[in-house]
Amino acid sequence: MRVLIVEDEPRIAAYLKRGLEEHGYAVDSAYTGREALDWARTVNFDVIVLDIMLPEIDGIAVCRQLRKRRCRTPVLMLTARNGLDDRVNGLDAGADDYLAKPFALKELLARLRALTRRAADAPKSPVIQLADLRVDTRTRRVTRGGKAIKLTAKAFAVLECMLRESDRVLSRAQIAEHVWNYDADIQSNIVDVYIRSLRRSIDDPFETKLIHTVRGAGYRISTESIDDPA
């Protein structure tokens, strides 16, 4: 899950980045409204956390600009405690939710999960189920056929990314874009290794294979096997 944090206070930004990364998010940081707009133009984020108080262009203007560009990425606005007008203006500018500062990281995480569920064709429950595979996005527990499966943080992120768009073919670049941030500069062959690792955990011990290779295109997670598993 790729998140853009737009926050001009470097210490808060660093704290949020670390907190979100510990929970498996791939995080990029922007410190001004201008930077935020540049980021959103090049990367397809899953969610944007946007502070209202920003130098140059404020958060509300950034949000309005994003919606004008037909960017559908969910936006969570960070407002001051008593900023009733900020909250109203932010929501009217196109934000999907707001959180008043100061807030608990736990609440931010819950709201981010809720926001990403609201995306058009995303699974509506925090627990994603595909055949006998169960993935709880809150506790990050994975089971298949009732059997608990241990995954590394990155492998979990790859699995979650694929499940959010199950039945669709995702290219290695698309997967990389949602699992790693810009600094990680991941190569497609590393995505292959993670897919191999996922297969070892959730497919190899079971009869029905869920992860399918689509030659020349990428990977697909589905209960239906219409292509050649490699």
**d(C-alpha 43, C-alpha 87), whole Å:** 26
Out of 55, 184, 205, 208, the residue judged to bind other proteins by CB under 8 A:
184
**Does 193 contact other proteins by CB under 8 A?**
yes
Q: Map residue 128 onto helix, strand or coil.
A: strand
**d(C-alpha 87, C-alpha 90), whole Å:** 5
Instruction: Give every CB contact of residue 221 below 8 A, 6+ residues apart in sequence.
Output: 130, 159, 162, 163, 166, 167, 210, 211, 212
Task: Using alpha carbons, list the distances in angstroms from residue 214 to 6, 178, 219, 221, 228.
Answer: 36, 19, 6, 10, 7
Out of 144, 154, 178, 220, the residue judged to bind other proteins by CB under 8 A:
154
Please state the closest distance from residue 32 (CB atom) to other proteins, in A: 23
Candidates 30-38, 74-82, 159-167, 186-194: pick the segment binding other proteins (CB under 8 A).
186-194
**Does 196 contact other proteins by CB under 8 A?**
yes
**Does 195 contact other proteins by CB under 8 A?**
yes
Query: Which residue number, 85 or 228, has a Cβ lying nearer to other proteins?
Result: 228
Q: Map residue 191 onto helix, strand or coil.
A: helix
Query: Which residue number, 137 or 181, has a Cβ lying nearer to other proteins?
Result: 181
Out of 145, 168, 200, 217, the residue judged to bind other proteins by CB under 8 A:
200
Identify whether the C-beta of residue 188 lies closer than 8 Å to the C-beta of residue 201. no
**Does 110 contact other proteins by CB under 8 A?**
no
**Does 152 contact other proteins by CB under 8 A?**
yes
Residues in contact with other proteins by the rule CB under 8 A: 152-154, 180, 183-187, 189-190, 192-197, 200, 230
